[in-house]
Chain A
Amino acid sequence: MLRSIINYFYDKIAGSRLDHPIYIIPTFDGLKVVLLNIILLVIGLSYANNYVLLFNFILFCLFLGSMFYTHFNLSGLKLVSITSPQIHKGESREIALYFSTSNSQGHYFLKPSFKSNLVKIQNQKQTYSISSANNFSIKILIHGEKRGRESINKIYLETLFPFNFFRCFTFYSVDLRLFVFPEIKNGTNFQKSFVPDLINKESDEFFIREYQTGDSLKRVDWKKLAQTNKWYTRQYVAVNPEPVVLSCDDNASEELLSSLCFSIHEMQTRNIPYGLKLGNKSFIAPGNSPFHLLNCLRELASYDN
């Protein structure tokens, strides 16, 4: 019940069109202090005791002072950029948040978070400080909980500093597309089909061609030069493995996707060109590059059975 009410207000406030407005509300501890203040005021008035009244006002002023301080601790802070992590299910990675500030005193005990179904922030109680000493960045450790793709639009940042009497928070608008790739796990077999590549058939040997300006001197065939007095260049031909297309049908299980992910990484490491065919929905032609790897992984993350 309480959780749903909190979520309702979270969504309501997060949906605000304002540019990271700062909200401040008393915490449960703060409410206890308010109650104590009321009790002390009643006692002070009932007994006409000035010391109780003064004690009450000292507590009250510290309470109000802490309200200003908590707000001050968050004001002037702007989120400049955020890194997009590449994370597999079951893995932990860092997200870096870069800030700029107009507050010379720095910002302390900040607790960033965001709403996600796929990842979970580790050490949720951990707080961070921002000052000129640590280059205005916060690195949060996240853990991939579920494979998938989602878009994160709001980053929540709160602080309770200094007395935990007030919770001051704000939302930063971001456009973070979060992909959680399948777990890297070798297990289930899947279909592999080799694609013959006759054009690029390569061997260990070399053939000789005429020297062209710009060719490396290391590859000049000096023997032939001595024999013919003509410049030739040795053209080595590397052996490239045959491209492989990894495929699965429309109802692939998570285990199968994990195995595909494992194979993709292995092939990327071994420099084998690979393609991906996920049912009839998507097909990525064979290739082997970091960008290709990212594309394949994203496709796996987005795979919806």
Chain B
Amino acid sequence: MIIKLITAFIILINILILNQEIPLVVSGTTFGILLLSFFISNKSLRTFLKILLLFGCMALLKFQFKPFLVTECAVSFVLLLSSLKFWELETENDHFNMFLILSLTECSLFILNSTFLIFTIGILKMLFYFYYILKIRNYDIGLLSGKRLLILITPSIIFSFVLFYTFPRFTQGFLNANDLQYMISSGDSKMDFSQLGPVNLSKEQVFKVFGLEKSNLPFEILYWKSSVLWQISDEAISAANSGLKIIENNSSKYKFNYNVQVFQNMKEYMPILDGSADVITSVLPFNKYTDGSFRLKVISRGDLSYSVSGNYGDRLQNFNPLIERKALKIKPKRIEEIKEQFFETPLLPEDDEKRLAQLKKMFVKKEFQYSTTPPTYSSIEDFLLNGSKGYCTHFALSFAYLARIYNIPSRVVLGYLGGEFNPYDNSVIVRELDGHAWVEVYLKNKGWLRVDPTTLVVPDRLTMAASEFFDSREPFFTFLNIKISKDNFNFKSLNNAFLWIDSLNSRLSGSMINFDREKQLQTLRSLTPKNFPVGWIFVTSLLAFLGIFSMLFYFFGLKKLNPNEKRYLKFLKKIKQYGMTKSENETASQFVDRCLIEIPGQKKYLEKELAHYLNSFYK
């Protein structure tokens, strides 16, 4: 019974950890199946329900996930499977199979939450579970304790690290788990962004915009397109459509320069890049997390530069007629109404800077209100004409829309604004909460300029930390229609603890999660002779592991001899040099008698050793 409870506990922890990564319906179903198993004891009913639930789960996965969301679907499947397997935990074999399924679930956790703490907790969880499986196998677990457990576990753990660091990283990965979080967390916008071209975060909209609903396009590319909010070339789309991977041309590497200035609240606009795979170098130390956030380590005033590869030219300061056409593209349906409401003077200034200033002034005058829970708008025009409440995305899209009407080339950029400074390791944590949308406009003499329409509506968004800002907007918790002021709770000490854990996590994760091929080569080259293949280093490590393990067991099993036994063995060894070997059938006295005949020269020594032997063992 205890092991069943432990199993249930582990599954529950997995549900909680994966809750942010997979759809709520999957987590809920897993929990429901787990709970149901406690109430149904009838065996045939259990079997019937189990089969039914299995089909139900398959249908759920089928309808919940698009074909390209392989990772998400697989993780959900393993989680659901673990709860279904829970129904038949009777024999030790069932528990062992459960251990294998839970190992796969742990693997999902490591993919979706690549942090050291999750990893450590996962390993401890699995070792603990395995320990209990050994217990139900009628093993006297006491026999495995202490020295025996130490001699088995310690070298295994040490060598697993050796093998891990020497295992050749011949691949940079074929799949990207970053798609998961990003798709789910940002897929709830209802606005029709197609008016501005490829401006969307909704997964359905993204596919619709690109006309790729039925395509088997690798998701990384869509992620890239949607996040940078700018078009990729038609060639790239057709290449992706035909199932080919875009060939990265090294010559098209482009260096981004974003000036990072650390202010009191760590405010800086940081456009989302396209996952760590595309970031080749960065001047400042940079950790990317799978939940969409990233971390700049030891931040200081200065340039943050990324070198990225791929067809990113359109994002940069380059400006050509094609880009201009795209940046001015608009599908106005109710343009006259908009103009009537937003344009005080029909004649716009010639100078684009003045036009921009006029637009900003007009935008402020409109008195939009910031709200994290705005009503649903069917389009940007609907928002501009009928709404006033919105958040950064609404403002950015509307501003870009109006700018295009004002004949100012504009584009929306999605990224992060600010972050939280962590004093424990001098880093800035950028979270999903810090997600932001702003606009870049093109001015003839200045190039692309950043404009943040949200700050025109609520200047606090720039000066306050994101959490502080959102707290100021919503100072109450709502629980069963009861409003509880957030001031009643002091989260400061708790937050400090989280920051400390985060810094610890970051320190421990840094050397592990970012240990890629480049770092491996760098490390191993410094430890081994030049040009020694990594594969050979791995094989040598494996052989060393096997050799050391066998030696360890050899010495571990050696009997401890007392001095008399040692002396006797030494005596036999010395006599062997004269060609005399003691037979198993003869006693020590008989052997010495035989030796006295063969080697009379050693008479004194032989008699002395025999006397000692007899005294030691027979008196």
| A residues in contact (CB < 8 Å) with B | 29, 32-33, 36, 39-40, 43, 45-55, 57-62, 64-66, 68-69, 71-72, 75-76, 102-105, 108-109, 127, 129, 161-164
Q: Which residues does chain B contribute within 8 Å of A69, judged by CB atoms?
A: 152, 553
Instruction: Tell me the residues in window 145-182 of chain B with beta carbons closer than 8 Å to chain A beta carbons.
Output: 148, 152-153, 155-157, 159-161, 163-164, 167, 169-177
Q: Which residues does chain A contribute within 8 Å of B575, judged by CB atoms?
A: none
Which chain B residue lies CB-closest to A65? B156
Which chain A residue lies CB-closest to B122? A55
Q: Is A50 within 8 A of B557, CB to CB?
A: no
Which chain B residue lies CB-closest to A44? B107
Q: Which residues does chain B contribute within 8 Å of A71, judged by CB atoms?
A: 553
Which chain A residue lies CB-closest to B114? A51
Q: Which residues does chain B contribute within 8 Å of A127, judged by CB atoms?
A: 138
Q: Which residues does chain A contribute within 8 Å of B152, judged by CB atoms?
A: 62, 65-66, 69, 162
| B residues in contact (CB < 8 Å) with A | 71, 93, 96-97, 100, 103-104, 106-107, 110-111, 114, 118-119, 122-123, 134, 137-139, 143-144, 148, 152-153, 155-157, 159-161, 163-164, 167, 169-177, 512-513, 515-516, 545-546, 549-550, 553, 556-560
Q: Is B557 within 8 A of A104, CB to CB?
A: yes
Which chain A residue lies CB-closest to B101? A36
Interface SS majority for chain B: helix
Which chain A residue lies CB-closest to B92? A164
Q: Which residues does chain A contribute within 8 Å of B560, judged by CB atoms?
A: 104
Q: How far is the CB of B432 from chain A (nearest CB, A)?
A: 21
Q: Which residues does chain A contribute within 8 Å of B171, judged by CB atoms?
A: 45-46, 48
Q: Which residues does chain A contribute within 8 Å of B153, judged by CB atoms?
A: 62, 65
Q: Which residues does chain A contribute within 8 Å of B549, judged by CB atoms?
A: 64-65, 68
Q: How far is the CB of A271 from chain B (nearest CB, A)?
A: 42
Q: How far is the CB of A64 from chain B (nearest CB, A)?
A: 7
Given contacts A52-B107, A55-B123, A59-B103, contact A162 B144 (CB under 8 A): yes
Q: How far is the CB of A44 from chain B (nearest CB, A)?
A: 8
Partner of B512, one of A43, A54, A75, A103: A54
Partner of A49, one of B111, B546, B557: B111
Q: Is A32 within 8 A of B160, CB to CB?
A: no
Given contacts A68-B549, A162-B134, contact A49 B114 (CB under 8 A): yes
Q: How far is the CA of A51 from the CA of B512 in the complex (A)?
A: 8
Of the A-B pairs whose beta carbons lie under 8 Å apart in the complex, a sample of 24, sorted by A's number, is A29-B96, A36-B100, A43-B111, A45-B171, A47-B173, A47-B174, A48-B169, A49-B114, A50-B114, A50-B164, A50-B512, A51-B111, A54-B160, A54-B161, A55-B119, A57-B161, A59-B103, A61-B155, A62-B152, A62-B160, A68-B553, A76-B557, A105-B556, A161-B139
Q: How far is the CB of A59 from chain B (nearest CB, A)?
A: 7
Q: Which residues does chain A contribute within 8 Å of B114, judged by CB atoms?
A: 49-51
Q: How far is the CB of A136 from chain B (nearest CB, A)?
A: 13
Q: How far is the CA of A59 from the CA of B103 in the complex (A)?
A: 10
Q: Is B164 within 8 A of A57, CB to CB?
A: yes
Q: How far is the CB of B585 from chain A (nearest CB, A)?
A: 15
Given contacts A57-B163, A64-B549, contact A51 B513 (CB under 8 A): yes
Q: Which residues does chain B contribute within 8 Å of A40, judged by CB atoms?
A: 103-104, 107
Given contacts A53-B167, A66-B152, 9 further A-B contacts (CB under 8 A): A45-B174, A47-B175, A50-B114, A53-B164, A72-B557, A102-B559, A103-B559, A104-B557, A164-B96
Q: How far is the CA of A75 from the CA of B516 in the complex (A)?
A: 42
Q: Is A61 within 8 A of B175, CB to CB?
A: no
